[in-house]
Structure 1
Amino acid sequence: MASQAPNAAATVHHGSSEQVSDTVAAVISDIRANGDAAVREYSKKFDNWSPDSFQLSSDELEKIIAGVPQPVLDDIMTVQRNVRSFAEHQLASLRDFEIETDPGVFLGQKNLPVTAAGAYVPGGRYPLVASAHMTVVTAKVAGVDNVVACTPPIRGEIPAATVAAMYLAGADAIYLLGGVQAVAAMAIGTETIPRVDMLAGPGNAYVAEAKRQLFGEVGIDLLAGPTEILIVADGEADPFVVAVDLLSQAEHGPDSPAVLITTSQQLADMVKAYVEELLPGLPTRDFAEPAWRNHGEIHVVSDLDEAFALADQFASEHVQVLTREPRQALERMRNYGALFMGEGTCVSYGDKVIGTNHTLPTRGAARYTGGLWVGKYLKTVTYQEVKAHAASTALGALCGRAARVELFEGHARSGDVRVSKYTGSLLPWAPNHRFLTVD
């Protein structure tokens, strides 16, 4: 466990290993060339899964959902209600508008949803049911017409709760398909899997690398790395709560950073002791312990000003503030994926139930981006209409001058023709031209 200040160069994005990159590139190339046949080959190879159809039919969905205990379905619907409510408020914060900037000159903005989105919900050791809420519900609130959702089988079994969550969230098609083959199939399109416009959802290093390589061909939400937690605490924080919360995120994976910044040496010592006490009995110790040993950090600083400044250097995915006045962080911090203020609020609430989106920037990306939200599924586009001839004449003259400074003669002439048509002046480069007149 380290205790030194963060190395900025080390906390910013790391490239994928050459082996991961090469493997992903080969899979994408194969799927691009061979479509469903390649998808089936990789699904069988990596997941031992090769059904007649990867897409779940209506009858199959009904049977799967019927096998999920009602309390689980009730909880899924409650969480999705929370996610939907927050996403709807986000959508309401965006507005279309049209303004008349000069007489007869109208400029406008519209927020248009992408036509089709692909939602990837990981499986593996942890079936991330909550990722179905975050990707599918948010896309449907944004107005996406077609949401294709993929999740892998887990050890040859159907992850029923995840499938139910996808269905209840409003997914238009659900495929039992995982890994690079799922992401590539959605991005490229195959004989049976429709091509989407953007991809969203977390995944392992191979899925993240696939999204990186496919970006540009499709849009993506972000490139997610290992889960991160950073806690800012003063001397009044409960060290047992701090220790439990640090380990709650360390269990995501052996490379998940868990960082404490505190103004109290006593708190730092107590937290460290509690972590050592709690780790042996933690069922997910095999992930949490190496995460803490290799990526855990405790920093003792002189005051909260220094604490907030250091936290901003980390630009962590999750920042939890356990201080006397936690809302100070809203004014004094700017680099975080999501902020969790006060003892009554934990990062796990954001991960699972509270309603904000858990797909968040990692590896320092919070310096320049937020996480997945309704706006990621929207294209903010503009439109223009010049109705007044006098306004078009003035703009045409201005355009002619501005374009010729840049040596764009064709652009200039588009402005010239409006000046000529609306004023009756001659065009120097086409003096004999006569414009069409309409009665």
Structure 2
Amino acid sequence: MSLALKTPDARSAAVATSLPDVREKVESIIADIRTRGDQAVREYSARFDRWEPESFRLSPEQIAEIVARVPEQVIDDIEFVQRQVRTFAEHQLASMREFEVETLPGVHLGQKHIPIAAAGAYVPGGRYPLLASAHMTILTAKAAGVPRVVACTPPIRGEIPDATVAAMHLAGADEIHLLGGVQAVVSMALGTESMAPVDMLAGPGNAFVAEAKRQLFGEVGIDLFAGPTEVLVVADETADPFVTAVDLLSQAEHGPDSPAVLITTSESLGRQVIDEVDKLLPEMPTRDNAGPAWRDHGEVHVVADLDEAYELADTYAGEHVQILTANPREALEKMRNYGALFLGEGTCVSYGDKVIGTNHVLPTRGAARYTGGLWVGKYLKTVTYQEVTDEAASARLGEVCGRAARVELFEGHARSGDVRAAKYAGAPLPWAPGAVTRS
């Protein structure tokens, strides 16, 4: 049984977290771009971003000029982070084994991993220029072997986001377009006169971008159905209340609808963390986001022991779960529902967002119950193949296929098995005007 020291503000419980007409607006934009192509894209870019260049796609010369403007230290840091992401993605790829097995004499079954032909990466601008998303979406796709990666990012207040473009280029994007919002996502998914379509979309975005990906899913693949960033901390009495408060607010700053949850075995710690948050928030530059997030979506629960803490944490299935306990690796065995796990005080969620190398595109809104986050395997199609080279084995399979298919009333399927049993083993064909004979 847990004690709730803080629950979401009841006054804000009924406040909608997105515009009620998001779905209708996105439907309208998709239909318009589907019909009018580039002209519609240009009009939406002018309306929403005040951006209407001769070409949205950057030329190699423009990219080189932009990258040259980025400070050397920023480039060095981008390259450091991208080495981290690439190394982890390459190890993920190496863990995926192709194989072929002979299950019966002459019956060969195999598995292959084939990269998709083209991926679209959306790198947000807006409130924050999330250049780290370029590493996570573009670089991971290239590590998987995707031959064509199209990347889009919006201008920010009419200006080119130099560092973001540099990150996209260094990550290996084959095309870079200064194009944002729904119009960017729809252009990549459907294609226009100036952009060939892709097979999969990846990357975070605002409510409109997320809704566009949802509506386009099926025509193209997507990485995840995205929601607000989430953080959940499991802590015992050994945790530092100041560090815990800082880490909760580090994720709350993503947006006013970002949940920040603490589950602890120590009532004293829980109360100290609330006090520390109250001290930190007034001076926090991003308090306009972090403040409402903590007020409306912040929670602190006190539980009897860590087993109860892990059990409660699993019910949230949080995007980011941080373990601040004396033995943090215990959570690897005790927990099952999380997007990513951050073990110990030396490992903050912000490392995962920005620098450590694991992917920061993660499941939200409880989706961690059934899926993990974006990874190199998402850009691969795991396909199978079959070959039967032994006639006796084919005849045996044909006999079983005939019986199994007729139980399901699939006569046509049954006959495909029958003809092989007849041709390779002389089985009768009572349904045929003449028996099939061996050639």
On whether the aligned pair clears a TM of 0.5, the verdict is yes
Q: Which of 322, 325, 328 is the equivalent residue of 2:327?
A: 325
State the distance in 1 between where 2:124 and 2:27 align. Answer: 20
State the distance in 2 between where 1:394 and 1:59 align. Answer: 64
Q: Which residue of 2 aligns with 1:270?
A: 272
Q: Which residue of 2 aligns with 1:177?
A: 179
State the distance in 2 between where 1:406 and 1:235 align. Answer: 60
State the distance in 2 between where 1:237 and 1:100 align. Answer: 54
Cα shift at 1:420? 1.2
Match of 2:413, SS state, is: helix
Q: Which residue of 2 aligns with 1:28?
A: 30
Aligned residues: 430
Cα shift at 1:269? 1.1
Instruction: Tell me, yes or no, if structure 1 residue 402 matches structure 2 residue 404.
Output: yes
State the distance in 2 between where 1:289 and 1:425 align. Answer: 77
Cα shift at 1:403? 0.6
State the distance in 1 between where 2:232 and 2:421 align. Answer: 61
Q: Which residue of 2 aligns with 1:158?
A: 160
From the superposition, tell whether residues 31 and 3 of structure 1 become closer, same or farther in structure 2 (CA, over 3 Å).
Answer: farther
State the distance in 2 between where 1:3 and 1:107 align. Answer: 57
Match of 2:257, SS state, is: coil
State the distance in 2 between where 1:283 and 1:5 align. Answer: 24
- How far does the alpha carbon of each residue in 1:349-374 deviate from its partner, in whole angstroms, 9 at most, with x for none? 00000000000001111111100000
Match of 1:407, SS state, is: coil
- How far does the alpha carbon of each residue in 1:133-167 deviate from its partner, in whole angstroms, 9 at most, with x for none? 00001000001010000000000000000000000
Q: Which residue of 2 aligns with 1:98?
A: 100
From the superposition, tell whether residues 404 and 316 of structure 1 become closer, same or farther in structure 2 (CA, over 3 Å).
Answer: same
State the distance in 2 between where 1:62 and 1:98 align. Answer: 45
Answer yes or no: is the 8 Å Cα contact 1:250–1:287 preserved in 2.
yes
Instruction: Tell me, yes or no, if structure 1 residue 345 matches structure 2 residue 309.
Output: no
Written as runs of structure 1 = structure 2, the 5 A alignment for 1:37-436 is: 37-432=39-434
Answer yes or no: is the 8 Å Cα contact 2:6–2:298 preserved in 1.
no
From the superposition, tell whether residues 434 and 403 of structure 1 become closer, same or farther in structure 2 (CA, over 3 Å).
Answer: closer
Answer yes or no: is the 8 Å Cα contact 2:5–2:270 preserved in 1.
no
Answer yes or no: is the 8 Å Cα contact 2:424–2:438 preserved in 1.
no
Match of 1:174, SS state, is: strand
Cα shift at 1:125? 1.3
Answer yes or no: is the 8 Å Cα contact 2:186–2:212 preserved in 1.
yes
State the distance in 2 between where 1:16 and 1:283 align. Answer: 24
State the distance in 1 between where 2:32 and 2:18 align. Answer: 20
State the distance in 2 between where 1:335 and 1:3 align. Answer: 24
RMSD, aligned α-carbons: 1.6
Answer yes or no: is the 8 Å Cα contact 1:186–1:195 preserved in 2.
yes
From the superposition, tell whether residues 215 and 69 of structure 1 become closer, same or farther in structure 2 (CA, over 3 Å).
Answer: same
> Aligned letter for 2:29?
V
State the distance in 2 between where 1:17 and 1:46 align. Answer: 16
Cα shift at 1:123? 0.3
Answer yes or no: is the 8 Å Cα contact 2:117–2:199 preserved in 1.
yes
Answer yes or no: is the 8 Å Cα contact 1:185–1:195 preserved in 2.
yes
Answer yes or no: is the 8 Å Cα contact 1:315–1:366 preserved in 2.
yes
Q: Percent of aligned positions with the same letter in both sequences?
A: 72
State the distance in 2 between where 1:432 and 1:235 align. Answer: 82
Match of 2:261, SS state, is: strand
Cα shift at 1:194? 1.3
- How far does the alpha carbon of each residue in 1:23-64 deviate from its partner, in whole angstroms, 9 at most, with x for none? 000000101111111111111110001100000001100100
> Aligned letter for 2:174?
D
Cα shift at 1:423? 2.3
State the distance in 2 between where 1:315 and 1:282 align. Answer: 28
Match of 1:124, SS state, is: coil
Match of 2:226, SS state, is: coil
Answer yes or no: is the 8 Å Cα contact 1:49–1:156 preserved in 2.
yes
Cα shift at 1:432? 2.3
State the distance in 1 between where 2:368 and 2:425 align. Answer: 53
Answer yes or no: is the 8 Å Cα contact 2:422–2:435 preserved in 1.
no
From the superposition, tell whether residues 309 and 429 of structure 1 become closer, same or farther in structure 2 (CA, over 3 Å).
Answer: same
Answer yes or no: is the 8 Å Cα contact 1:122–1:203 preserved in 2.
yes
> Aligned letter for 1:406?
E
> Aligned letter for 1:94?
M
From the superposition, tell whether residues 295 and 434 of structure 1 become closer, same or farther in structure 2 (CA, over 3 Å).
Answer: closer
Cα shift at 1:435? 5.4
